[in-house]
Structure 1
């Protein structure tokens, strides 16, 4: 069966439109974060741009699917390849922010996480950077954290405090954090981690306490802005504790 000339005529424009839409969606997605990181706009503006990148990505995927169908019917294999590539890019541009949205809906809207909700390690050196916002949010946040991240608990290391402290400091440096304070006598380490895409600054405080010939390690990670951290602070603590417990403490 012959393919109508009108369909043939629309194959190339559809493929080009899909390519343009998918590339535009990816650029918007990139700009949404890096524009925030470098101070061109507020992070809420960045999130709004990210939302529109998802919409454009979905449009690109739909255009690409139509273009691929028409290209296959007309045996325009160059247009078919472009359409398939655009479909993948469009789906990616849609999937990244959509997955964040789904994850945010599954996790509590909190951004101050600690291994000790009863006596969280306090921020001292980083208090000015946090505009004085150093107090733990309280019982409501603690209850939400315990339901969402029950595995985050005080870690016991079978070494004296001095060795545990050095191990914690080395692990913090390996994490790539900017160390703001290291006070061995107090068993306190404070640091800041900057996220790659949006440039969000999250603050961390580590407390090393003696327990006989062993040591107790507690960590607190808190965002400076926002309401929900989409699990970022909890994952940061998990990664740090895994790094700390996988390597032997220095002698």
Structure 2
């Protein structure tokens, strides 16, 4: 029993952790990779049931080391999918986030890279703006007293420090375009930053949009927060 329990525990976490890499390697389709989450959760649940059975009926012969490892694997296999499900319920099912809901920055140089992306580059307007306004009211146009050149340099440094791949950085037009690739599934999200002069102030807007998926689980909003938080000006 303890060997079966250990195998089940290890299998549950392997099914979970390998779903992303197997998708990136194009061995699994996205639907199949997400199905791996459910399979891992089920196997993890079975593992916990087996552990409870051992604790009740086979306590004298239980192997605490192997049982502890199986329990840890099961908790990971159950906890991670449930955590993602809860996160999905707590944020709107949108994947295009911007600091300017009326006139969001437009992608230009990056359009060729996302030509085959399931999610179109065009902004969907009030259909998603109303949902973002409710979920992320703090995301608004940023204004700085620094010159547009200084703000541009600081914004570029921010995305470079975050490890994004810069596609274009045109100081003359005040536009920066880049993309970020998630580690686990390799999902690619595109970012555009627009910098404009407005009298004595410099305005900065950011937009982050997923190439695939209906809900981003809050990732694009988190990315914009990280970009803005990384802009260091004197």
TM tier relative to shorter chain: over 0.9
TM-fit CA distance, 1:128: 1.6
TM-fit CA distance, 1:91: 1.3
Mapped partners of 2:25, 2:141: distance in 1:
36
CA contact (8 A) 2:151 2:233 kept: no
The within-5 A match list for 1:1-251 is 13=1, 15-72=2-59, 74=60, 76=61, 79-131=63-115, 133-244=120-231, 247-248=232-233
TM-fit CA distance, 1:213: 3.1
What's the TM-score, normalizing by structure 2?
Answer: 0.94
Aligned length: 231
Deviations for 1:24-53, whole angstroms, at most 9, x for unmatched residues? 011111111111122222222110112111
Mapped partners of 1:140, 1:165: distance in 2:
30
Mapped partners of 2:58, 2:145: distance in 1:
66
Deviations for 1:108-127, whole angstroms, at most 9, x for unmatched residues? 11000001010000000111
TM-fit CA distance, 1:88: 2.0
Quick check: which has more Rg, 1 or 2? 1
Gaps (5+ residues) in structure 2?
none
Mapped partners of 1:129, 1:158: distance in 2:
34
TM-fit CA distance, 1:71: 4.6
SS at match of 2:40: helix
Mapped partners of 1:130, 1:155: distance in 2:
27
What's the TM-score, normalizing by structure 1?
Answer: 0.88
- For residue 6 of structure 1, what is the aligned residue in structure 2? none
CA contact (8 A) 2:9 2:69 kept: no
Mapped partners of 1:69, 1:162: distance in 2:
69
Deviations for 1:49-69, whole angstroms, at most 9, x for unmatched residues? 121111111111221232234
Gaps (5+ residues) in structure 1?
1-12
Moved more, 174-183 or 43-52: 43-52
CA contact (8 A) 1:71 1:80 kept: no
Q: CA RMSD in A?
A: 1.5
Mapped partners of 1:63, 1:153: distance in 2:
51
